[in-house]
Amino acid sequence: QVQLVESGGGVVQPGRSLRLSCAASGFTFSNYGMHWVRQAPGKGLEWVAGLSYDGKNKYYLDSGKGRFTISRDNSKNTLYLQMYSLRADDTAVYYCAKSPFVGVGGTPLDYWGQGTLVTVSS
Amino acid sequence: QSVLTQPPSVTGAPGQRVTISCTGSSSNIGAGYDVHWYQHLPGTAPRLLIYDNNNRPSGVPDRFSGSKSGTSASLAITGLQVEDEADYYCQSYDSSLSREVFGGGTKLTVL
């Protein structure tokens, strides 16, 4: 069965960096696009970034452009989100999610992880 | 403000039917992009409920159905059950923003 397990969350000071990981299993990771989605406390879901199966096509939320980098290591079945210059409004549970296709534009997110909490606070 | 607009809450009694609307614009739903729906219980992984406007993944009961018309979409739940109490989100793609967009979410209460 498909499993997505996020890790790397924690408490970080404003302006610092953090790298999230998402370990995938139960499917051929290298054949599918992947996403990061977040949920701030008391708020709804917000799409953060998407990446095609081969890592070549990357898409970001405007507030993440220049601060967030999505990447993948298909040899390790792992998706990453490197976050720089973190701000208080980046505080959220971050979920990784799978696309049912090689790309990520306009696709549903058919499987999700349980999420990892990132708290940006001094 | 979310790009897709959903009612903050809906309420229904067990056995009843409820609908949740999702209103977009000419750059997303109205442009022909598909709408997908998710069920989310706090502290758990969101679950894909409806994809491509009106299709159910395997394992999703046929009590859940979706529709789309013009710049809007709807999720209908019939035969409400207590375990349906959750947050529901619509999602589509926006060509002006060049990214995925979610609705603000609707909290379903089953009284």
Residue A105: its pLDDT value, please?
Answer: 85
Q: Residue A95 — φ and ψ, nearest 5°?
A: -110, 140
First to last CA, chain A: 40
Residue A104: its pLDDT value, please?
Answer: 83
Q: Residue A35 — φ and ψ, nearest 5°?
A: -130, 160
Closest-CA distance, B50 to chain A, in angstroms, reads 9
Residue B42: its pLDDT value, please?
Answer: 83
Residue A52: its pLDDT value, please?
Answer: 95
In tens, the pLDDT along B9-55 reads 999 999 999 999 999 999 999 999 999 999 999 889 999 999 999 99
Mean pLDDT rounded to a whole number for chain A:
96
Q: Residue A30 — φ and ψ, nearest 5°?
A: -70, -5
- Asked if pLDDT for residue A23 goes beyond 90, the answer is yes
Chain A residues touching residue B48 (CB < 8 angstroms): 108-111
Residue A85: its pLDDT value, please?
Answer: 97
Interface test with A, best of B40, B93, B100 (most A CBs within 10 A): B100
CA atoms within 13 A on the CB side of A25: 5
In tens, the pLDDT along B87-102 reads 999 999 999 999 999 9
Nearest CA in chain B to A96: B45
In tens, the pLDDT along A29-74 reads 999 999 999 999 999 999 999 999 999 999 999 888 889 999 999 9
Closest-CA distance, B69 to chain A, in angstroms, reads 17
Residue A106: its pLDDT value, please?
Answer: 86
- Between CA A35 and CA A72 the distance in angstroms is 11
- Between CA A37 and CA B4 the distance in angstroms is 16
Closest-CA distance, A77 to chain B, in angstroms, reads 19
CA atoms within 13 A on the CB side of B32: 0
Residue B103: its pLDDT value, please?
Answer: 98
Among B26, B7, B39, B67, smallest CA distance to A109 is for: B39
Length of chain A: 122
Specify the DSSP element, H or E, that contains B29: none
Nearest CA in chain B to A3: B45
Nearest CA in chain B to A6: B45
Closest-CA distance, A46 to chain B, in angstroms, reads 6
Beta pairing class for A116-120 and A10-12: parallel
Helix (H, G, I), strand (E, B) or coil at A4: strand
Helix (H, G, I), strand (E, B) or coil at B63: coil
A45 at B interface, C-beta within 8 A: yes
Q: Average of pLDDT values for A90-98?
A: 98
The percentage of chain B sitting over the pLDDT mark of 90, rounded to a whole number, equals 96
- Asked if pLDDT for residue B79 goes beyond 90, the answer is yes
- Between CA B94 and CA B33 the distance in angstroms is 8
- Note the maximum CA span of chain A: 40
| Residue B45: DSSP 8-state | -
- Asked if pLDDT for residue A103 goes beyond 90, the answer is no
Interface test with A, best of B29, B34, B99 (most A CBs within 10 A): B99
